[in-house]
Structure 1
């Protein structure tokens, strides 16, 4: 049996866990920033998945396990306050969605969608946080076009790097995902992978 993936999986997990631990220091006041930093920390594991260092099944199982670990504090009503929010299961949805995406789609498409979930969502959250902080609004409840622009730009770059097809199709893919992230009705950690799944059928 081949266990060559073990060091890569351990490195990927260590980066995520290490980031979760380090974000304790900025604390609860920067919970939204901490959440986005944790989003970014998943990128190395995604890239190792893309290049075949971490098998699909292992990546999916690890993502599912992360989802369960993060769900438990919510169920106990004892959230990790520096990045988890009461009645907001976004990080749990992210992990479960990442698990499903990695299994259901070809590696190139799965990687593009996973990177949009991690990088583009992280970028838009950071931009919105600092925009509203500078302008004195409640950053916990608002979205703004500045963040969506950041999402669109990064998602286009990801599409160009990983997806086949013409430029119009790639921009369209990024634009629709941006709309899925912006809409207010469904948590974007569910909406983006769901819409991305539909786009795969159409793409």
Structure 2
């Protein structure tokens, strides 16, 4: 008899696989948007983890395997051009970070952080893409305050729903994550989960 989490893991896999197939049809011109669509596609997995349908260990191992699958094309210099960018390992860092967060943090807090990584970062990337596309800049290399504002707004909503504590701490949490995403020194797919993990002491 199959473990009870298998159907839920299957739904999560279908969500991510469907996003990958869909973005491939959009093509590499939309690589930056495609990356964010794939970010969004992990939301069903995160919610099923939150409601106890997918165990933390299963979520973690699945994210780790997904990270390894995405790392391999980089190492072979044969990137999946419709969403991977040469010398940019963001999607790999995202998967590896997502594999650690559920094991290192309590479920409610891990859920909030994972949703910020997926939803807030995704919304941020989409807004920045269209802003720079309209203004003629290279969207692959730029960040802008408009995206950070979107990150902050969505992270505040996530914090209000999933985190305990008063509103001030929740807004502070969202603000510090937005700053971690915006800073230019460390890939945000590493900086956000790192800062978010350190902020756990507030809760």
Deviation at 1:43, TM superposition (A): 0.3
Give, in whole Å, the separation in 2 of the partners of 1:134 and 1:74: 30
Find the counterpart in structure 2 of residue 67 from structure 1: 67
User: Cα–Cα, structure 1 residues 76 and 107, in superposed 2: closer, same or farther, change >3 Å?
Assistant: same
Which secondary structure does the structure 1 equivalent of 2:139 belong to?
A: coil
Deviation at 1:2, TM superposition (A): 6.6
State the TM-score, normalizing by the size of structure 2: 0.98
Uncovered stretches (5+) of structure 2, i.e. residues with no partner: none
Give, in whole Å, the separation in 1 of the partners of 2:107 and 2:42: 16
Which secondary structure does the structure 1 equivalent of 2:102 belong to?
A: helix
Give, in whole Å, the separation in 2 of the partners of 1:174 and 1:77: 36
Deviates more, 1:20-29 or 1:143-152: 20-29
Matches within 5 A, 1:29-178: 29-178=29-178
- Cα RMSD over matched residues? 1.0
Find the counterpart in structure 2 of residue 15 from structure 1: 15
The number of residue pairs the alignment matches comes to 203
4+ residue runs over 2 A deviation? none
Deviation at 1:201, TM superposition (A): 2.2
State the TM-score, normalizing by the size of structure 1: 0.98
Which secondary structure does the structure 1 equivalent of 2:53 belong to?
A: coil
Deviation at 1:138, TM superposition (A): 1.4
Which secondary structure does the structure 1 equivalent of 2:138 belong to?
A: coil
Q: Deviations over 1:118-146 (max 9, x none)?
A: 00000000000001111111111110000
Q: Deviations over 1:73-92 (max 9, x none)?
A: 11111000000011111111
Give, in whole Å, the separation in 2 of the partners of 1:176 and 1:104: 20
Equivalent pair of 2:59/2:102 in contact (CA under 8 Å): yes
Give, in whole Å, the separation in 2 of the partners of 1:60 and 1:77: 26
Deviation at 1:177, TM superposition (A): 0.1
Find the counterpart in structure 1 of residue 26 from structure 2: 26
Give, in whole Å, the separation in 1 of the partners of 2:60 and 2:201: 21
Uncovered stretches (5+) of structure 1, i.e. residues with no partner: none
Find the counterpart in structure 1 of residue 180 from structure 2: 180
Deviation at 1:25, TM superposition (A): 1.2
